[in-house]
Structure 1
Amino acid sequence: MQLNITIHQDTSAFDRLSKEWLTLLSHSEVNEIFMTPAYQATWWNTLKTGELLLYEIRLEGGQLIGIAPLFRSANQVAFVGCKDVSDYLDFIIHKDYLDLTYQAIASELQKLGSVSFSLCGLQQNSATLKQLPKLLHLNVDQVISQQAVCPQIVLPKTWEEYLQVLERKQRHELKRKWKKIEQVEKVSFECLTNPQQVSESVPHFIELHRQSSESKREFWDPYHQTFFEQLLPTLATQNQLKLFFLSVASHPKPIAAMLVFDYDNHYDLYNSGFNPEFGHLSPGQVLTSYTIKQAIEQERELYDFLRGDEIYKLRLGGQPQPIFDLEFEL
């Protein structure tokens, strides 16, 4: 079957392909917010290095069946978005044309010559982990490595059902933390979804994230700050973002913040921060459990803590799901 392949190096391709891109995502086996044109364009415009290699793959009749969002920096080719701020990445392929599209992608990768490839953030059910090693004659044990885990909760119908899923000790701890903060302070929660309000609140979120730990403080170079300043209102415009704040009456500013992606009937906990002066009240864990409750009430199917095996994610019921990197040379 004849395919038409176009390689875009101009960032305007993200916008031009946007409508078809989103339709293709809805028909692909992997559909994550990190693979949407809005997210990828923002990443490329703020964190890019090298040259864009955005492959557009169509059937002869014109139907879009594949997008390979790659870039080349020096002698390495990687996914757009790889690696530090994007949890899940992959090729975007119509599930009815997997074999055909992977054959085309493998052929195009071979044309790039002697380069190394870093395809990061692949879910364990990704066809990329099976198809590319087979088509490129790679030794699976040598090219695939586990990068991290993403703990997830398959959400029940009610909050009470969720509490019963937790271990008895953790259920008691969670109730104790809620009781403690409510005894000491008058607590209020806020969820921002309006793009203008989100944009105005980005500095408050960054401030709380910085305060949380030394490593989080070091994260905020000018490039990452610009990325967040552009990404959050962009996703809010598409109703894909919720910015939560926890406040107490005794303090003029929020003491905890949580950035959640609301996409494809999932809540993805992308980032969070809290004021360490109030650490004894566990505001971070209280706010996290509040967002889980919100997800249940809004009938979401999954709560994804995203990358990292921090103990609080497991205590709140997260089941670790591995993600992998596929790295090789041709």
Structure 2
Amino acid sequence: MGAREGATVGEASDESVVITEETTGSGFTALRHEWNALSRRANQTLPFQTWEWMWQWWKHMGDRHGLAILIARRRDRLVGVAPFTLRDAATPVRVRTLRFLGSEVTDELDFIGDGADARIVWRFLSESRRRWRWNLLDLWEFPSESPSVAAVEAWARSVLRRRCLAQLVDGLEVHLPSEYSKYWMGLTPRMRAKIRTSERRTQDRFGSLSLDVATSPRDVPAALKEYLRIQKARWEQEPTGLYHRLEYCDFLRDVSVALATRGLTRIFKLSGDGQTLGLALCFGTSGRTLSYGIATDPALRHLEIGFQLVNRVIRTEIARGQRVLDFLRGREQYKSRFGARPKQVVRLRVAESGLAGRLAAMLH
């Protein structure tokens, strides 16, 4: 490491913090309980930041990545985790990218621990450069309010003498009132009419409709199997999509079951006359439900099943006291019709100077 990449004022050392690395699957496994306990202490309750989510991503989708987890301990107590992964591009010049575990299929990733402690974030970044000599730092989708964003940008300016490219990724979320009647009356008359029409036409064909929720490790696998079947049918014209990748489907299957053991998985199934009409794959914590995906039977597109499915999900979640339905990334028009408000996450990228850095930025 050159002089510019040594300790700086911004990472003024907390000598009581020791940084170590974990690059083996067995070591990753051993972190499970400490990792989740740290997440709870730091109030990082999103399922995407749990050990289970990261482990299942690594297990199923990390085959072309190197494990590069950094661990911060203060007097043997875990105080921070940098859940990094490395990937080398097949180019004549070595191009190495450092990312978070779970990138590309996960919203709202971050360092695990007290993100307000910029010193630990600086230590993580400097240690990652020293140990693995990456050319591109590409960190996907921090929550916009995360203090880690400012810490990463400051580190890049001070240590690399480079500016981060900050890409704002749009999303939408619905703020839920305490009563469904208030939510319903807050929708536009046109939207209420659309939902009623969809339900009436669907009931004319299938009779009474029911909404079931799979939450237990016993019930989730069957519900997810149906969800994947319908998603594959919906995307059959796009054979290169995620739902046609076996490793992604295996990841969703196993992570949904793993999170169900912690009460974080909710798969909603709308049925009529014994037939599955649509499913919503959700994950959640106290107060917040994350809508990861909606699957509706493509043969029933004319019935607009998705509108009534989402409406029933919202009604169910209001009844159990949830305050936000987060549609995650993407600003599809249908989300706005449910009263969703804009939100943003931040993707930070910074490449080192020189040929390898420029090549890394071009490849990503």
TM-score normalised by the chain length of structure 1: 0.91
Q: Does 1:218 pair with 2:238?
A: no
Q: Does 1:13 pair with 2:32?
A: no
**What's 1:87 paired with?**
107
- Of stretches 63-72 and 177-186 in structure 1, the one that deviates more from structure 2 is 177-186
Counterparts in 2 of 1:305-324, with a 5 A limit? 305-324=327-346
- TM-superposed CA distance for 1:140, in Å, is 8.4
8 Å Cα contact 1:208-1:255 kept in structure 2: no
**What's 2:320 paired with?**
298
8 Å Cα contact 2:156-2:350 kept in structure 1: no
Q: Deviations over 1:125-147 (max 9, x none)?
A: 1222211111221788751112x
Cα 1:217–1:167 change in 2 (3 A) is farther
Q: Does 1:172 pair with 2:217?
A: no
**What's 2:11 paired with?**
none
Q: Does 1:281 pair with 2:296?
A: no
Among 123, 127, 136, the alignment partner of 2:147 is 127
Cα 1:204–1:216 change in 2 (3 A) is farther
Q: Deviations over 1:186-234 (max 9, x none)?
A: 2122111121222133321111112223348832211112112212211
For 2:320 and 2:161, the matched residues in 1 are separated by 44
8 Å Cα contact 2:277-2:305 kept in structure 1: yes
Q: Does 1:56 pair with 2:75?
A: no
User: Which AA in structure 1 matches 2:291?
Assistant: L
For 1:142 and 1:104, the matched residues in 2 are separated by 17
Among 104, 107, 119, the alignment partner of 1:100 is 119
8 Å Cα contact 1:189-1:244 kept in structure 2: yes
For 1:149 and 1:216, the matched residues in 2 are separated by 26
Q: Secondary structure at the match of 1:238?
A: coil
Counterparts in 2 of 1:243-254, with a 5 A limit? 243-249=267-273, 252-254=274-276
**What's 1:113 paired with?**
133
**What's 2:10 paired with?**
none
Q: Does 1:163 pair with 2:163?
A: no
For 1:70 and 1:141, the matched residues in 2 are separated by 21
Q: Does 1:65 pair with 2:79?
A: yes
8 Å Cα contact 2:179-2:319 kept in structure 1: yes
User: Which AA in structure 2 matches 1:223?
Assistant: E
Structure 2: state its 5+ residue gaps.
Answer: 1-13, 89-95, 353-364
- Indicate the percent of aligned positions where both proteins have the same amino acid: 21
Q: Secondary structure at the match of 2:263?
A: coil
- TM-superposed CA distance for 1:177, in Å, is 2.5
Q: Deviations over 1:157-188 (max 9, x none)?
A: 01111112223322332233233323443212
Q: Deviations over 1:93-124 (max 9, x none)?
A: 225x6122123123213313252111001121
8 Å Cα contact 2:97-2:134 kept in structure 1: no
8 Å Cα contact 2:184-2:192 kept in structure 1: yes
**What's 1:36 paired with?**
50
Among 191, 214, 218, the alignment partner of 1:192 is 214
8 Å Cα contact 2:156-2:162 kept in structure 1: no
- TM-superposed CA distance for 1:14, in Å, is 3.6
Structure 1: state its 5+ residue gaps.
Answer: none
Q: Secondary structure at the match of 1:136?
A: helix
**What's 2:225 paired with?**
203
**CA RMSD, aligned part only?**
2.1
TM-score normalised by the chain length of structure 2: 0.83
**What's 1:230 paired with?**
254
Larger Rg: 2
**What's 1:325 paired with?**
347
Q: Secondary structure at the match of 1:289?
A: helix
For 1:50 and 1:225, the matched residues in 2 are separated by 19
